[in-house]
Structures are given as C-alpha cells and as structure tokens.
C-alpha cells in the first residue's frame, strides 16, 4: 500500500501494510479529532502491548490550530499528566526533547463529524472537556490506583470505585472521556477499562497514515 490510499481498517500489521511517511507530507491528511496511536519500544510500552495483545501502547488525539499553523496532540502521559504539545514535537523532538521512540498511526473514527457546521458545534464540546482537563496531574497514589485498575481489568476482576479516580487519567481514559463528549463510545474489550488497543480494535476506527521521525 502506498503512503496514502484512503482509510483502511486498523490491523496488527498496519505498520507493514502502510509504510510510514514524513510528518510534513502527512500534515494535509490530518483532521481535527483524529486518533493518534503509538507503538513504543520502551519497557512499559512493551508490557502494555503484551497484555493487551496489540502493537499499540499509547493513544491521544489531534487538535488543528490552523490560525497559527500548528497541529497539536492532546494526551495524558505518566510523568506529566494531561498535556497539549505540537504533534511535530512528539514525532521529531523539536524543542521538547528527542524524537519519538516507536511508530505512530493516525486514525479516524467513522462517526466523527466531517468539517462543517455540525463539526464546529460537536468539536467545541469535545474541546471544552479536553481543555478543562489539561494539567490534571499524576501522583504516586493515583499511579498505583490506575495500575491496580489495569491489573484488575486484565484479570477480569471488578474493582470498587475507589480505583477509578476522577482527577487523573491514563492516556486511553483521557481520550475516551473526550470522545464521549461527542457521543462517541469506543468499543472496549472489558467493561470497566479502556486501553489503547480498544481504540485500534474498534471496527469504526480506520487507519489514515503512519508517521516516522523526519
């Protein structure tokens, strides 16, 4: 498959079937609300990928700020919490650090509104939810609770609500709550936990383009 031949179903072989292109070449293909799925090479990434049976260990979503010619990534990361940064910095490093260690797939949910009046209203609601949660921190206690929630979900054990903190989010929980603001529910394999793999496995999520550092 060429660098871009339209949306296709996400599969575990996506990085083989859809050869990666550069960030600059991909920019015109990326829309507001697109899903960013990462396959990392670090120890924690490999662990998540192993236990979820998926090449994806991290998820965020896209917010285009065309007025300033920037494409932003909204995500929740363990050492920072919920944040927003240029997608180019995530991919290529830039001022924020080193290039990403792994691969990135940009995908799109079939039910996400197309550009137009309906999109403007819907994405406004999603943006409010996303921005209101910027800066939500991770602390040691919350990391432990989230870790326990993940372990319980993998073991198919229903844990009490205390293991579902409302002021901290792993990456997939943050993306999920923002998509719910649009009325979009990601199909999940476990009732009380959503993983990056669930975004990739949802039949309505289609691959758009894969990226590599420039």
Note the pLDDT tens digit of each residue in 71-89: 999 999 888 889 999 999 9
Note the pLDDT tens digit of each residue in 77-130: 888 889 999 999 999 887 767 888 788 999 999 999 887 777 777 788 889 999
How do the residues of the chain divide into helix, strand and coil, expressed in percent and rounded to 5?
40, 20, 40
Q: How many Å apart are CA 95 and CA 74, to the nearest integer?
A: 17
Reported pTM? 0.82
End-to-end C-alpha distance for the chain, whole angstroms:
20
132: Cβ–Cβ under 8 A, 6 or more apart, which residues? none
The predicted structure's pLDDT at residue 27: 92
Angle at 101 between CA 100 and CA 103, to 5 degrees: 80
């Amino acid at each position: 498959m060429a660098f871009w031949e339209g949306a296709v179903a996400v599969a575990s072989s996506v990085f083989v079937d859809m050869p990666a292109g550069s960030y600059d070449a991909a920019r015109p293909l990326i829309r507001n609300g697109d899903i960013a799925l990462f396959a990392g090479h670090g120890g924690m990434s490999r662990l998540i990928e192993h236990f979820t049976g998926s090449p994806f260990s991290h998820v965020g979503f896209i917010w285009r700020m065309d007025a300033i010619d920037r494409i932003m990534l909204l995500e929740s990361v363990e050492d920072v919490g919920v944040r927003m940064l240029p997608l180019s910095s995530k991919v290529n490093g830039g001022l924020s650090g080193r290039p990403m260690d792994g691969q990135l797939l940009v995908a799109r949910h079939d039910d996400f509104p197309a550009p137009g009046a309906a999109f403007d209203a819907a994405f406004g609601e999603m943006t409010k939810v996303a921005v209101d949660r910027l800066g939500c921190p991770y602390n040691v206690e919350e990391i432990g609770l989230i870790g326990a929630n993940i372990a319980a979900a993998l073991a198919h054990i229903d844990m009490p609500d205390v293991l579902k903190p409302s002021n901290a989010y792993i990456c997939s929980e943050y993306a999920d709550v923002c998509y719910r603001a649009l009325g979009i529910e990601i199909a999940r394999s476990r009732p009380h936990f959503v993983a990056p793999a669930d975004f990739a496995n949802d039949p309505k999520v289609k691959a758009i383009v894969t990226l590599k550092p420039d």
